[in-house]
């Protein structure tokens, strides 16, 4: 899809909320990003996708708007989510700490700077704790000033990966000590992060963890930008990958297959590992253990697809694009 002036100021927020089993509730949260309390549509904002996972009891809502409008869309969705989701009754196999678990802001357009996304992320964190009393947040990525620590690093510090995080031991960056109803929300900004989940045909989570460790960025020989969990999922094991965009060009030894998708932010080049490479690596490692693949799913879109679809949705005036995308072929 060709670029347009419409896309030059766009940003995306892949809002993660801790509910998927009540799909009507999740759609209510998505619509709060699109319409004010009188039902009037916010111009220039669209929800491209809603990804629900029953086992994880987690949904990802892809909100796209201009950098000038994204704050209000996010905050209204968060207010609605916090009013409807109670972490004291939440169950699911995916780690989580907050009713609104994650608010990442990603630049899509050439005219959006890292500083712009940082400003909005900080304003969202502050705005959330002011509008919904009792909520609290930690910061990551560009918004975690001055250290700019990554999401995985901050989550580990906060105890996000533990089965039963101790909220009493956590000191939030914004807001009060986390409360049981709302939990703790991660708010940040950075280059686009794609989610790629590869399912292998086994119930052996320990095998899945060994594969996750092998492809994780922090492991020698791992894939740049790839953060991984292995989780039980629908009678199998899912290798759930956050695929972070990395600065510069990919290593030469990893470019033999599909090219790494690339883009620029403020004149800096970024790229990310393609889903085909992640799938091939998981298939290879699983195959060595006699385990076959079941499939690969993208949660949302690649950065390029996200912008292209947002430009189309906004040019056509489609707010609830998640209802339309299956019948539209780009």
CATH number of 261's domain: 3.30.70.670
Sign of CA dihedral 203, 204, 208, 214: negative
pLDDT tens-digit profile, the chain (330 residues): 344 677 899 999 999 999 999 999 999 999 999 999 999 999 999 999 999 999 999 999 999 999 999 999 999 999 999 999 999 999 999 989 999 999 999 999 999 999 999 999 999 999 999 999 999 999 999 999 999 999 999 999 999 888 788 888 999 999 999 999 999 999 999 999 999 999 999 999 999 999 999 999 999 999 999 999 999 999 999 999 999 999 999 888 887 778 999 998 988 999 999 999 999 999 999 999 999 999 998 887 888 899 999 999 999 999 999 998 755 543
Predicted model pTM:
0.93
CA distance 221 to 141: 24
> Is residue 1, in this structure, part of any structural domain at all?
no
> Is residue 213, in this structure, part of any structural domain at all?
yes
CA distance 122 to 69: 15
How much is the pLDDT for 1?
A: 38
Residue of 62, 140, 136, 153 whose CA lies nearest to 100: 136
> Is residue 167, in this structure, part of any structural domain at all?
yes
The reply to whether 295 and 153 lie within a common domain is no
How much is the pLDDT for 287?
A: 97
The reply to whether 162 and 54 lie within a common domain is yes
Interacting residues of 14 by C-beta distance below 8 A, sequence separation 6+ = 60, 61, 62, 63, 102, 104, 106, 193, 195, 299, 300
Domain with 218 in it: 193-299
Interacting residues of 132 by C-beta distance below 8 A, sequence separation 6+ = 78, 79, 82, 83, 182
Task: Evaluate whether 108 touches 307 at the Cβ level (below 8 Å).
Answer: yes
> Is residue 106, in this structure, part of any structural domain at all?
yes
The reply to whether 11 and 121 lie within a common domain is yes
The reply to whether 124 and 174 lie within a common domain is yes
The reply to whether 152 and 215 lie within a common domain is no
CATH at residue 95: 3.30.990.10
> Is residue 216, in this structure, part of any structural domain at all?
yes
How much is the pLDDT for 161?
A: 87
> Is residue 2, in this structure, part of any structural domain at all?
no
How much is the pLDDT for 329?
A: 40
The reply to whether 246 and 99 lie within a common domain is no
The reply to whether 122 and 226 lie within a common domain is no
Interacting residues of 191 by C-beta distance below 8 A, sequence separation 6+ = 106, 107, 244, 245, 246, 247, 265, 270
**Domain tally, the chain:** 2
The reply to whether 122 and 267 lie within a common domain is no
- What kind and span of H or E run contains 66? strand 58-66
The reply to whether 113 and 210 lie within a common domain is no
Q: 3-class DSSP state for residue 206?
A: helix
How much is the pLDDT for 97?
A: 94
CA distances from 80 to 24, 108, 274, 300 (A): 13, 26, 34, 22
Residue of 296, 301, 293, 294 whose CA lies nearest to 321: 301
How much is the pLDDT for 132?
A: 98
- What kind and span of H or E run contains 278? helix 275-287
Helix axes 205-215, 275-287, angle to 10 degrees: 130
The reply to whether 161 and 237 lie within a common domain is no
The reply to whether 22 and 67 lie within a common domain is yes
The reply to whether 154 and 198 lie within a common domain is no
State phi, psi for 54 to the nearest 5 degrees: -65, -50
């Amino acid at each position: 899809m060709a670029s347009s002036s419409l896309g030059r100021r766009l940003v995306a927020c892949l809002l993660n909320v801790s509910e998927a089993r009540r799909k009507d509730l999740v759609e209510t949260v998505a619509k709060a990003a699109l319409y004010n309390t009188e039902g009037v549509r916010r111009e220039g904002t669209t929800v491209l996708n809603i990804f629900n996972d029953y086992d994880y009891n987690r949904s990802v809502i892809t909100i796209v708007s201009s950098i000038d409008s994204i704050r209000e869309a996010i905050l209204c969705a968060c207010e609605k989510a916090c009013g409807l989701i109670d972490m004291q009754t939440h169950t699911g196999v995916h780690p989580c700490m907050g009713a609104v678990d994650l608010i990442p802001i990603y630049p899509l357009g050439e005219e959006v700077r890292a500083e712009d996304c940082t400003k909005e992320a900080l304003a969202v964190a502050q705005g959330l704790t002011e509008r919904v009393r009792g909520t609290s947040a930690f910061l990551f990525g560009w918004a975690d000033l001055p250290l700019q620590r990554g999401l995985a690093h901050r989550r580990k510090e906060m105890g996000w990966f533990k089965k039963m995080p101790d909220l009493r031991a956590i000191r939030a960056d914004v807001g009060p000590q986390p409360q049981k109803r709302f939990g703790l929300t991660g708010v940040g900004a950075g280059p686009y992060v794609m989610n790629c989940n590869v399912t292998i045909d086994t119930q052996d989570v320990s095998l899945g963890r060994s594969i996750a460790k092998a492809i994780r960025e922090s492991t020698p020989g791992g894939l740049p930008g790839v953060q991984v969990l292995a989780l039980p999922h629908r009678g199998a094991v899912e290798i759930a990958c956050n695929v972070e965009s990395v600065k510069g060009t990919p290593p030469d030894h990893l470019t033999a297959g599909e090219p790494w998708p690339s883009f620029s932010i403020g004149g800096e080049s970024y790229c990310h590992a393609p889903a085909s490479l992640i799938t091939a690596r998981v298939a290879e490692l699983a195959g060595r253990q006699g385990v076959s693949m079941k499939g690969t799913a993208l949660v949302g879109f690649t950065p390029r697809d996200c912008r292209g679809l947002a430009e189309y949705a906004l040019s056509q005036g489609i707010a609830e694009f998640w209802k339309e995308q299956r019948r539209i072929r780009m």
